[in-house]
Amino acid sequence: MKTHNRIIKDEDPLIRQLGLFDSTMMMMGIVIGSGIFLTTGIMAQAIPSAPMVLLAWLLGGLLILAGALTYAELGVSLPEAGGQYVYLREAYGHLYGFLFGWKMFLVNMTGSIAALGVAFAEYFGSFFPTLSTKEIVFSSHVGGLTYTLSRGQLVAVAVILLLSAINYVGVAFGKTVQNVLTVIKIGTILVFVFFGFVFARGASIDLSLNPEGWSFAQLLTGFGLAFVSVFWAFDGWNNINYVAGEITNPKRNLKFALIMGTLGITLLYFFTNVIYFLALPIGEMKGVVTMAEKASSSLFGATAAGLISAMILISILGALNGAIFVGPRVYYAMARDGLFFKKVGGVHPRFKTPGFSLFLQAIWASLLALTGTFEQLFTFAMFAGILFWVLAAAAIFTLRKNALTFLGPTKHGAILLSR
């Protein structure tokens, strides 16, 4: 197996201080953002069948679980900061790791952080209209192009910088914020499901597989489109691997965090959708983006919509904090291999965090947040991501093959993926 030579050769200074609970909350907190509250209406338009939509959520969860098991094996065998970057580097060489890492910084991770920041601002604006994304503070026309800056975008930048500062001053501080936000969001979803069943007592779900008499080709196409929404709602499940170098006993905790987190998210998503279908007939769900608010209004009354907006706000904040926490570990790992700015490979002497990496990510994500809407930023962030997910998952086969002919330790420990 080919190994690499690190530019920064000293002992990895990051400290392992994320336990099983911290890792699981990090994983679940990153994944559970706004997707579960926004996608079901889009899925119902793609395939107007409650059983088919519920099946899509279950199959999506099983597919993500398969991915989680693969990433668990990779993470256990290479338990260091960087996640996918490390797997691609070890399986295919520096070039693939280089491309992935820079794509993460320029597009995926910072774009996702910017998108989550703007999404937070949009919901924040429902409570404070003067700070919404509709309040324009600057507009300019240059060469046929129009640029507008809203107060909501400034709110997005403020929250990105605030959470980056929190994660800068220590892992303990950052993980505590993440744990609290994730516990609150899981708790509120459980409360929503529990009272949903209580208030929907006597209601039933139309279990017709094909109520509109679609052809098989139409059903298959619709199911595929619905599956895209499922993947969006599960996006980020693999991000916990980026901080494998800071997880205590990674052979146990990383594996169980991935498995328990995926199973927990799947169950939460499935039962949330059951409540949606108990609250509304599928005909009233088609194309509805604010699905959680509409279902809550139907079950609990109009005053519940404000509470749901607050729940989504907290959910987005947790996902944003998690993304800000894990992203810099990729750039940090790259810098230590000489593939990023050298200063990014350093750790703050007092706080023991990749401080400059966090700073650089915050600046670039803030600039992106000033350039577009949530939809534009989300599309930007998802560009080219799937290719590298597939490559990283396939890396396990390359590493297993190498392990059969190279059973000694590398600079990262023995890679015995075939055991």
Q: What is the arithmetic mean of pLDDT over 17-30? A: 94
Instruction: Indicate whether 2 belongs to any domain.
Output: no
The CATH code of the domain that includes 81 is 1.20.1740.10
Instruction: Indicate whether 1 belongs to any domain.
Output: no
Instruction: Tell me the sheet residues that pair with 140.
Output: 147
Burial classification of residue 217, based on how many CB atoms lie within 10 Å of its CB (0-12 exposed, 13-18 middle, 19 or more buried): exposed
- At 63-119, the pLDDT tens digits run 999 989 988 888 888 888 788 888 888 888 888 888 888 988 988 889 889 988 988
CA proximity to 242, closest of 23, 8, 7: 23
CA proximity to 109, closest of 410, 411, 413, 381: 381
- Please report which confidence band the pLDDT of residue 360 belongs to, taking 50, 70 and 90 as the band edges: very high
Instruction: Indicate whether 28 belongs to any domain.
Output: yes
Total number of domains in the chain: 1
Instruction: Indicate whether 317 belongs to any domain.
Output: yes
Residue type, 410: T
- At 26-72, the pLDDT tens digits run 999 999 988 888 889 889 988 999 999 999 999 999 999 998 998 88
The answer to whether the beta carbons of residues 362 and 161 sit under 8 Å apart is: yes
Instruction: Indicate whether 13 belongs to any domain.
Output: no
Residue-level pLDDT at 161: 97
Instruction: Indicate whether 416 belongs to any domain.
Output: no
Phi/psi at 298 (5° precision): -70, -40
Instruction: Indicate whether 358 belongs to any domain.
Output: yes
Instruction: Indicate whether 161 belongs to any domain.
Output: yes
Two tokens at 227?
Answer: 């599956």
* Residue 144: Cβ within 10 Å count: 5
3-state SS assignment for residue 162: helix
| Enclosing domain of residue 267 | 20-393
**Percentage of the residues of the chain whose pLDDT score is greater than 90:** 43
